[in-house]
Amino acid sequence: MTYSKLSGSNRDLGELAEQTFDVVIVGGGITGAWLSLHCVQQGYKTALIEKADYASRTSAASSKLLHGGIRYLQQMQFDKVRESAMERAEFIYAAPHLSTAVPFVVPTYPDFKRSKFFLSCGMLAYQALCLGQNSVIDSKEQGLGGIKSINSDQLNEICDLDNEPHTGAVVFNERHMIDSERMVLAIIQTARELGAKTYNYVAATGFLGDDDTVSGVVARDQLNGNQFSITASLVVNAAGPWIDGLNSKLKNADKAPRINSFAIGSHIVTRQLCDHAIALTTKHQAGSKIDRGGRHVFAIPWRGYSLIGTSHNEIDSADGDISLQAEHVDQLIEAINDAMPAAKLTRDDVLSGYSGLYDFRTNNIKSTVYQGSGEYQIIDHQSANKVAGLVTALGAKYTTGRKVSAMTMKVVNSKLAADNSSAGKKLVRQKLRGSDYSSLAQLQQEKLQRYKNQYSAATIKHLIMSYGSDIDAFLQSINGKHELQKRICATQPDLFGQVVWAIEKEQAVMLDDVVFGRTSLGLLGLQMDELSGIATLMADQLGWSTDELERQLRATLSRMNKTQAAING
């Protein structure tokens, strides 16, 4: 059997096929990533496979927020509020450099349900539910600040709502990631350092074993089409909305919980509307117990633009077209212009966008109601449908991915603990790759001073947000290599050296991996000559033929052109 081995990368699928694992995880999104880390921490021989690139589907399609759960107040799910706040704190503790504090503005109005008094009461409850989060973060400089009220004039200075009948706003802090994909990648890199075998572009096409027992997965190398087997004592299906693609092949599959509805959530990137994040009420029904007037849409400052989301459109199947559609763009533009007329947002203001698939598990789906329940399911198939050797872990929210994994580990340990003395021990809190520093502010100050004669402050800050304490290793890798020290785009701080780093250190094997999953430049107005520059460098590093180089360019251009067609309407 020939396994794909790429020059310039550390890809060797032979290590998946030539040994037996304790656990093989299917799915490289946020839940699968945390599972790979938790399993290897517990001493299990662990493998993870992802059919595309890591975090390239639902985990990539978020608002890039580590959400503190304030939305659950309207649904009176107080346990979910606290759970989200504590889980946000766990992410900040694990990798402070991968997210930044962003002030969120919620305008208030004269009517009671949207009044400052009513919202402030809710915020007091929120603060009480978040008590202890700064102890989890364990860093005074990274601690989440309090909540404040501002008057009408102060709000108008922040955001152009001068002609709206507001009474000011309440301001609170959330955490925003430079990229949700980079957080997933940091978790997976940490798991790899501890011994996990993780690979993107490996699809699970079926289960090994008989009707009563799963003993691994049948896998396909997506780069060359070769099939091989990965044997394991336990398989964890963490494929998100696509879990039923595998689970439907099981004996008595209908007896196990299944996803019964799906939705597409979309975001657009536009000219910057505000230097604060702002939550605006829309006309769409919210489906909450305490209704402030409708579902909210967010406009969040991101890399010099505004990231606006989330639209909501239900679909019937996980196999449908989940790309950005013109109607998604219309929905978001309309929502912004209804709530902030002075924005006068048009399609000409939209730079790019993206969509992701989300699963619903309730039986009373209403097409007009957004049911952001934050629920998750962990299924032991031996109990559910009499099939041993398989567990399904299905999360609903990015921020609670670690919690879902920790809960899944209780089931994993119950299956494997007899053969592992480390199993069942309390999970150790783990700093992620690049977090080898005590003070992020001090790290930034030191690197700005050290590299001030070589790189701009914007570039150094961006590299720290991407790599943290690995910035020195990265800059050393391009030292003396003038072409790799150049910016890829005139308007963004990313360097060509990041392309090589993505290949050598981050398992990037496709043009899309770099353009979207490692840099986000595909969402930031990347021009054809800039895209060609990335592709040419990747071809040199990975040994692509001329035909392969052209194929990679066509695939990425097709994705970008399809997005542009949706924007154009």
CATH of the domain at 237: 3.50.50.60
Question: Which residues, at least 6 apart from 272, have a Cβ–Cβ distance to it below 8 Å?
Answer: 301, 304, 305, 306
Residues 298 and 255 in one domain: no
Question: Which residues, at least 6 apart from 189, have a Cβ–Cβ distance to it below 8 Å?
Answer: 432, 433, 505, 506
Alpha helices (H) along 269-368: 326-339
The answer, yes or no, to whether the previous bond of 205 is cis (omega within 30 of 0) is: no
Q: Is the pLDDT of residue 7 over 60?
A: no
Residues 346 and 274 in one domain: yes
Residues 516 and 495 in one domain: yes
Is 332 inside any structural domain?
A: yes
Question: Which tokens is 106 given?
Answer: 């919620």
Residues 502 and 521 in one domain: yes
- The confidence band for 156, taking pLDDT boundaries of 50, 70 and 90, is very high
| Position with higher pLDDT, 184 vs 257 | 184
Q: Is the pLDDT of residue 367 over 90?
A: no
| Position with higher pLDDT, 565 vs 293 | 565
Q: What is the 3-state secondary structure (H, E, C) of 85-115?
A: HHHHHHHHHHCHHHEEEEEEEEEECCCHHHC
Q: Is the pLDDT of residue 4 over 70?
A: no
Is 355 inside any structural domain?
A: yes
Q: Which amino acid is at 268?
A: I
How many domains would you assign to the chain? 3
Average pLDDT value for residue range 369-381? 66
51 near 204, Cβ under 8 Å?
yes
Is 552 inside any structural domain?
A: yes
Residues 396 and 544 in one domain: no
Q: What's 514's domain CATH number? A: 1.10.8
Strands 296-302 and 202-209 come out as unpaired
Residues 266 and 355 in one domain: yes
Is 548 inside any structural domain?
A: yes
| Position with higher pLDDT, 56 vs 252 | 56
Residues 267 and 409 in one domain: no
- The confidence band for 271, taking pLDDT boundaries of 50, 70 and 90, is very high
What span, in angstroms and rounded, lies between the C-alpha atoms of 307 and 269?
A: 5
Average pLDDT value for residue range 426-443? 95
Residues 411 and 537 in one domain: no
- The confidence band for 202, taking pLDDT boundaries of 50, 70 and 90, is very high
405 near 35, Cβ under 8 Å?
yes
Range of the domain at 405: 21-58+181-259+375-419
Average pLDDT value for residue range 32-54? 97
- The confidence band for 164, taking pLDDT boundaries of 50, 70 and 90, is confident
What span, in angstroms and rounded, lies between the C-alpha atoms of 294 and 280?
A: 9
Residues 250 and 280 in one domain: no
382 near 396, Cβ under 8 Å?
no
Q: What's 291's domain CATH number? A: 3.30.9.10
Q: Is the pLDDT of residue 290 over 50?
A: no
pLDDT over 90 percentage in the chain: 81
- The confidence band for 403, taking pLDDT boundaries of 50, 70 and 90, is very high
pLDDT digits (tens, 9 = 90+) for 435-472: 999 999 999 999 999 999 999 999 999 999 999 999 99
What span, in angstroms and rounded, lies between the C-alpha atoms of 242 and 142?
A: 36
What span, in angstroms and rounded, lies between the C-alpha atoms of 569 and 565?
A: 6
Is 38 inside any structural domain?
A: yes
- C-alpha distance across the termini of the chain, in Å: 47
Residues 356 and 266 in one domain: yes
What span, in angstroms and rounded, lies between the C-alpha atoms of 395 and 47?
A: 20
Q: Is the pLDDT of residue 258 over 60?
A: yes
Average pLDDT value for residue range 219-234? 97
Is 457 inside any structural domain?
A: no
Q: Is the pLDDT of residue 373 over 50?
A: no
Residues 405 and 541 in one domain: no
